[in-house]
Chain A
Amino acid sequence: MTIDTTPMPPERLLELDDVHVHFSMREGLVKAVNGVSYHVDRGEVLGIVGESGSGKSVTARAIMRLLAKNAIQASGHIRFRPEQGKEVEISSLPRDGRKMRELRGGHIGMIFQEPMTALSPVHSIGTQIMRTVMLHKRVGKEAARARAIELLEKVQLPKPSEMVDRYPHQLSGGMRQRAMIALALSCDPALLIADEPTTALDVTTEAQILELLKSLQEEMGMAIVFITHNFGVVADIADRVAVMYLGRIVETGSVDDIFYQPKHPYTRALLQSIPRLGQAPVHRLKTIPGMVPDPFNAPRGCSFHPRCAYSVAGRCDVYAPDVKRFPDDQSARCHLAGELPEEVVL
């Protein structure tokens, strides 16, 4: 595989470079992902935050090459290095090819939003895990079953040797998500993509699942791309954060930088819309005016300018901003990044 761009630094696991994903629909072309670049280092947790329709999940599916059939992966590179010295350019692999199938499940695990429906209703938990193990590890039935029980124990399901023969409908939502995690981690992947894994769960279960993911990450050392629309979850689990808006990454940085020194007005607005403990009770929560624009006709210039409180006429609505870089690997895609007026701390 020839890669014409610069080689990846040694700690890199995954690198997305200017990825575009479009969908051809009857109504026209939807540019769901519009030049996304981010990277994940080995053993790192990257939180991806954004509203519905910002392209978070589509980007994740582009990494897995599991996009719907009407998707066009227009341009950009996705590079992945499962082991040192073995670099794969995912974006040039055939979708249903052997190499891509080896990566899926074998080196990249994925967990989904709906634990209720994301597991096959007619196969036992054990069967589903065993299939994956037998596919990638080339082991027999007995070994795969032992591995399944071991995994179920790892995700802290009670009585794993009984749980292995249970069916999804016999489990609660939190237990199913644990089983889903066991399935995704069955072949020790280097990368785990978690697509809103706690959105469908109640807060208590959510906290437990996050705790589990953190301890598993410490134990197994895989990197996690954690997709969510919940900043609180990101603060809990992520090392770095990428904020997406309308198919673009608008800001990236370490968790601390994003939370305490957001450079992009959108990040700032999102943070202000979260209630905080100790906040003055009379204060109304700020909201972001307007709606996420229709993806068929994204605004000219900066796609956030119609909703931005700092928008400058003649600049923000005409020219698309470039990425501005700041210390500590923080960057923001805004004309005004670094020049925003200090906000009164709430």
Chain B
Amino acid sequence: MVGYIVRRTLWAIPTLIFVSFIAFVIIQLPPGDYVTSYAAQLRHGGEYLTEVQEAALREQFGLNDPVLVQYLRWITNIVFRGDFGHSLEWNAPVSSLIWDRLGLTLAISTLSMVFTWIIAIPIGVYAATRQYSFFDYIFTIFGFLGKGIPDFLLALVLMWLGFTWLNMDVGGLLSPRYQSAPWTIDKVLNLLSHLWVPVVVLATGGAAGLLRVMRANMLDELGKPYVETAYAQGLSERQVVWGYPVRVALNPFISTVGWALPALFSGDVITAVVLNLPTTGPLLLQALKMQDMYLAGSFILILSVFTIVGTLVSDVLLAWSDPRIRYS
């Protein structure tokens, strides 16, 4: 087991280097660079940048160096100094921009993921053990509805309901008066009163899909002979179902839990934009639109690193939970 973990970890390193380079190249791919779009923005506002000024800016930002040199400068700063570079668009260090939003992003994403699992797994197990029962059909209907309704639409509907019926101020995570206030009980309560909308929206979509998968996995497992063996040992239905087939049915989830890590970070971009959430998702969207290369590159890099680390985590978890996976 230890050898397996070490081997998997070592394999992750070349992947990480490769992915970071790809991330950087992708940022370089679109025609034009930051200075081009900066100039365009200024022109839009009625100002004007001369050729000389543009060239000077390019020199200043090091945009004329070869790609490899720019990449090395970028990656060494990240690895050794935690410096992700300077966001040209926001005129601030990339790391501070991301850090500001990371806490709330992780809070919302983790909460909604926990809710997703809490809702989906018991319902999936129930629906499978009582297949074709009245409640199975009810949950099936809700499953398809939840999966079918786009998240942003549900977000809009909930916001409208909250505004017209519950008389709440919706959108964002804090009311304006708490925006820059220090953290107090009131501010936390205010945060919670806003937090339920994104959590419900994200958990509904996730749970709807997950419960269908859980139901299908469980139906596969419930018919297997080892379940009958467990019953023949004198275990009660609850002990059998939760002790044996659920254990096996969860393995496909464990193997995908790693993907939750990058998803936690990027969040659901559209929902976040609609709800005006100060999370990392909208920031990423803005960075890509503005060709803010250091910000966007950092995002893509962090997402890829999370993907690789997440896959590593789920591989290790799966090896721990399913003995058939373990290398010996």
Contacts and interface: CB of A to CB of B under 8 A. Distances in A.
Contacts of A109: 232
A120 B229 contact: yes
B236 interface: yes
Contact of A104 (B225, B231, B321): B231
B59 interface: no
A117 interface: yes
Given A117-B224, A122-B323, A169-B323, A104 B229 contact: no
Contacts of A131: 233, 235, 243
Given A114-B225, A117-B225, A167-B324, A122 B247 contact: yes
Contacts of B226: 117-121
Nearest to A110: B232
Interface string B220-262: 0000111011111111110000011001100100000000000
B244 A105 contact: no
Interface in A60-80: 64, 66
Nearest to B244: A120
A297 B232 CA distance: 32
A112 B236 contact: no
B100 interface: no
Nearest to B232: A110
A66 B232 contact: yes
A169 B322 CA distance: 11
B323 A66 contact: no
B321 A105 contact: no
Contact of A103 (B234, B235, B236, B251): B234
A132 interface: yes
B251 to A, nearest CB: 8
A119 B229 CA distance: 7
B323 A124 contact: yes
A131 B324 CA distance: 21
Interface of B: 224-226, 228-237, 243-244, 247-248, 251, 321-324
Interface of A: 64, 66, 96, 101-106, 109-110, 112-114, 117-124, 131-132, 135-136, 167, 169, 180, 183-184
10 residue pairs, one from A and one from B, having the closest CB atoms: A105-B234, A104-B234, A105-B233, A167-B323, A118-B225, A110-B232, A101-B234, A132-B233, A117-B225, A120-B226
